[in-house]
Structure 1
Amino acid sequence: MKKFTVATLAGALLLLGLPTTHAQVALNVDLEGSWKIVGWTLPDGVPVKNNLPRLTFTGNRVTGTAGCNRVNGTVSIRGDSVTFSALATTRMACTPAVTAQEQVFLNALSGKTLTATRLNDSLTLDTGSGMLNIRRMTIQTP
């Protein structure tokens, strides 16, 4: 899928002879599919190897795991802004390290608006105080 930028779209409008001075273009970041957190720079927490959070975006729904517990909620995407609802979670007992990871992860997303930057299968969500680095999960056939 070809990625269009605001500059590309503005250039296309100029070629068509359409005015661009008053046109406001909001291109939404495409998050459809499953993503795995591969690292972060969030304060007060460190990702736990083999228990990394995963998120699946389907329309305006987000589901996944915070490492141990399941999460779900809604998401709104406007341009490069991604707004999460208050995320609901299960309440399973987890190791202390994973529980700490989940708390930091949920605090970073739940009820917050983050800035998304996507390049191919890599996504960065900027919380304002740290970053989540995410990779698209792909299904591999034998």
Structure 2
Amino acid sequence: MAGKVEGIKPPFVPIGGLTGLEKPKPAAPPQSSPFRELLKAKLQDDKRIRFSAHAQTRIESRNMHLDESGFEKLVNAAEQAKSKGAHEALILMENMAFIVNLDNRTVITAMDQEGLKENVFTNIDSAV
């Protein structure tokens, strides 16, 4: 039989021998890809808070204004409550209050000063 030496098939050796082969080079670090950018943006979005349609309607109908610093305070309060293990939080700020579902980072409803006087808050496990 061709290719056998004393009944044993020798291993494949490329032409030029083993010394002719190039050493494998380490993989280049991946360049920025659309997936990587999308993942990075998604992770950033996960740190932000969204407003439900109901909360947006309440904010508009009650003429409430939340500037950038107020929004950052809301985000920080939500992160603080989440770090303590809360799931639904009442977040009180100056003359406004927000009920926030911390698991999906969504403001469920919003109240102004007048709404605070009349409401009983249920189904919350923390207040900030």
When normalised by structure 2's length, the TM-score is: 0.26
| Bigger helix fraction | 2
| Bigger strand fraction | 1
Larger Rg: 2
